[in-house]
Amino acid sequence: MNCYDCATQDHLARPAVAVCHDCGAAVCDAHAVARAHHLTRIGIILREEEVEPAARVVRCTTCDAAYAALHHHAARPARRSRVPIR
């Protein structure tokens, strides 16, 4: 199986080393992004705890950029409009 991104960008065919977790595309080592994924469990008094060690998630560069944009947008605080009180 060859890398989907290399095939669509007119690069030489490179063998795939992984499959994207989100879209299922085959990716080569140049287009694969491996990230740590911290699993959680519910502990005492309904407290969420991270499980160690972290799991691994492999995404293609397109899905990784979309995932990063989603979490970057969600992490920014909402802007408050400053309306003078009369």
Share of the chain above pLDDT 70, in %: 84
Mean pLDDT, the chain, as a whole number? 85
Rounded to two decimals, the pTM is 0.69
Identify the pLDDT of residue 51.
86
Mean pLDDT of 20-43: 93
pLDDT band at 70 (very low <50, low <70, confident <90, very high): confident
Per domain, the residue ranges of the chain are: 4-75
Q: What is the pLDDT of residues 39-63, one digit of tens each?
A: 888 988 888 888 899 889 999 999 9
Q: Given a cut of 60, is residue 76 above it in pLDDT?
A: no
Dihedral sign for Cα 25, 55, 67, 69, please.
negative
> What distance in Å separates the CA atoms of residue 54 and residue 23, rounded to the nearest whole number?
22
> What distance in Å separates the CA atoms of residue 63 and residue 23, rounded to the nearest whole number?
7
Q: What is the DSSP string of 29-55?
A: TTTEEEEEE--EEE-GGG-EEE-SSPE
Closest C-alpha among 61, 51, 52, 54 to residue 21:
61
